[in-house]
Amino acid sequence: MSVLIVGTTALDSIKTPKAENPRLLGGSASHAAVAASFFGPVKLVGVVGDDFPRGYLRLYRGHGIDLEGLQILPGRTFHWSGEYEANMNRRRTLLTELGVFETFTPTLPNSHQKSPFVLLANIAPSLQQHVLNQMARPKFVIADTMDLWLNIALAELLKLIRRLDALVLNDSEAQQLTKEDNLFIALGKIHKLGPKYVIIKQGSHGSVLSSPRGVFLCPAYPLRQVVDPTGAGDSFVGGLMGYLASTKGSIDDNIRRAMIYGSVVASFCCEGFGLQQTTRTTRAGIERRVRELEKLTRF
Amino acid sequence: MSVLIVGTTALDSIKTPKAENPRLLGGSASHAAVAASFFGPVKLVGVVGDDFPRGYLRLYRGHGIDLEGLQILPGRTFHWSGEYEANMNRRRTLLTELGVFETFTPTLPNSHQKSPFVLLANIAPSLQQHVLNQMARPKFVIADTMDLWLNIALAELLKLIRRLDALVLNDSEAQQLTKEDNLFIALGKIHKLGPKYVIIKQGSHGSVLSSPRGVFLCPAYPLRQVVDPTGAGDSFVGGLMGYLASTKGSIDDNIRRAMIYGSVVASFCCEGFGLQQTTRTTRAGIERRVRELEKLTRF
């Protein structure tokens, strides 16, 4: 089944202690869409300016991503610039130029409104809701978010959360949302806000799912080199949803394995700048790492 | 088979944001010995002063711990006092009184010299070596250490590491020892210092083993409340060695599961001050959490 993905489609300029890469293809929807594309059909909803490189459109198409929902408007593409510290665990934003994103209203083509799987990648919660309002009874809706929305749009975010099947957020965001240091108590508090499934990302330490079948501790794939972690969280949730949409059976039956797939796609993301390494991988390469993770966790 | 454990036997005064507990039974060898005692016979080697509460000797004996190697000398018992911050991830030492520990030389009774399993719990590396020098061809020697010895006794520590089958240390210590941020590269560098097995502890994120059969990602048991993490690392390695000494077959066959048992005993340790919760648990309670960890990681 197909996955509808809405989020940012951006140009990212990324500085690390070792290198500088201007105007890479980035944004939450770009990372999530490429990640999901390894498993089945993906419909991308977003906006770019008329400065958006044609090569990036070709890249999307090369991954079989449906671009009917991608608006190309006069003006500049959303541009984010950030810098990582030596250990890659901290980054700071150097610059954010909204460009055409400032007035973006995601309008879904008719063909998109019946997508059974919906991924509301990181973007303003009001826009995530706007997309959801246009959908006809999706089977499974997941959303990602970030600290920015907790700070400036909490009420909208809480409204959104009530409507989700699953919420994905990182450990510091979970702590901020619940005012609770303990991760497992925080999970319980987030369930009370609405979602049946809550996933807390912990970077190189993996992620934790809380679901009707209990808690699942999902490992991160061990990496000997992290080149650029930008988009790893988006790749994780993209891979997760792509895999989930490709499976038969219940969400409960498949969501643990879906997280493993998400974790593996995220590992490829970290090995190159922007989408460089993700786009180079194959389904066979993903399967190899999934089998490795099985061996790495067996006892 | 029996496990010989040498390390500190101390009184710990522990302050957390919620409570204050003076002169609890503590020290690396105390935590490790009680943890190992759930699986089989344990011989404790250490020193205490004549102020050491008799109740604590009874506690050791209640766990079947052989105290022939515990010296009781005139003077004061080693006393450590520390304070934890709200999230329990950071602690600072308020006071360290060495007492009888200052001139401690561990001398092994004859009956101890043939112990097949040796755990050199955290203590000065020169003392760890002194114990090793008295042993007759042990089957498996593991050592734990701490940042203090990396700072003030690195040469002695490196000499010790060459003689070990396994080294256990935490992530920041591994980074300090190897000057390497990446955990998986650090593991490779530590193997080159001698040990066939290297285990890096990551607190609530679990631990990682590197061994001839590859890497194992060992989860931490999810806790909804951490009362006092003092001794969790010692409990981990104690439980690990206790289980390993109780099994048949090769180290390679059993070490992953041994880490799981260590992880579970450490989880009980964190749930009470000092040894309060560890001493209350049972083998059945440990087995329950091991089965839970199987469910929490299956995909």
Q: Tell me the per-residue pLDDT of A164-196, one tens digit each, with 9 for 90 and over.
A: 999 999 999 999 999 999 999 999 999 999 999
Average pLDDT, stretch A265-270?
Answer: 98
CB-CB: which of A202, A215, A226 is closest to B222?
Answer: A215
| H or E segment to which residue B243 belongs | helix B232-246
Count the neighbouring beta carbons within 10 Å of the beta carbon of residue B273.
Answer: 18
Give the model's pLDDT for residue B189.
98
| pLDDT at position B86 | 76
Amino acid at the residue B21: N
Considering only CA atoms, which of A35, A46, A36 is closest in space to residue A1?
A36
Q: Which residue from B184, B295, B296 is facing A222, i.e. has the nearest CB?
A: B184
Is residue A90 very low, low, confident or very high in pLDDT (cuts 50, 70, 90)?
confident
Residues of chain B with confidence (pLDDT) below 50: none
Asked whether the predicted pLDDT for residue A124 surpasses 80, the reply is: yes
Task: Give residues with Cβ within 8 angstroms of B47, minimum separation 6.
Answer: B9, B70, B71, B72, B73, B78, B100, B101, B104, B106
Work out the mean pLDDT of chain B and round it to a whole number. Answer: 96
CB contact under 8 A, B299 and A216: yes
B267: enclosing H helix or E strand: helix B251-270
Which tokens belong to A28? Answer: 């939450």
Question: Which pLDDT score is estimated for B85?
Answer: 84
Under DSSP, is residue B272 helix (H, G, I), strand (E, B) or coil?
A: coil
Q: What average pLDDT does the segment A213-236 reach? A: 96
pLDDT of residue B52: 98
Cα–Cα separations (whole angstroms), residue A17 to A113, A228, A239, B55: 44, 10, 28, 56
Confirm whether the ipTM is greater than 0.90. Answer: yes
The predicted pLDDT at position A18 comes to 82
Burial class (CB in 10 A: 0-12, 13-18, 19+), A247: middle
**Alpha-carbon distance B2 to B41, whole Å?**
5
d(C-alpha B253, C-alpha B248), whole Å: 9
pLDDT at B88: 74
How high is the pLDDT of residue B83? 93
Residue B85, Cβ density class (10 Å: 0-12 exposed, 13-18 middle, ≥19 buried)? exposed
pLDDT at residue A125 is higher than 90: yes
C-alpha R_g of chain A: 18
Chain A nearest-CA distance from B221, in A, is 10
C-alpha span between B155 and A14 (Å, rounded):
41
> What's the pLDDT tens digit per position in A42-73?
999 999 999 999 999 999 999 999 999 999 99
Please give the pLDDT value at position A86.
76
- Looking at residue A168, its pLDDT comes to 98
Q: How far apart are CA A6 and CA A106, in angstroms?
A: 8
Residues of B with Cβ-Cβ distance to A271 under 8 angstroms: none
What are the φ/ψ torsions at residue A264 (nearest 5 degrees)? Answer: -70, -45
Pair A33, A65: CB distance under 8 Å: yes
Q: Chain A window 164-223: which residues touch B at a Cβ cutoff of 8 Å?
A: 181-185, 202, 204-206, 208, 214-219, 222-223
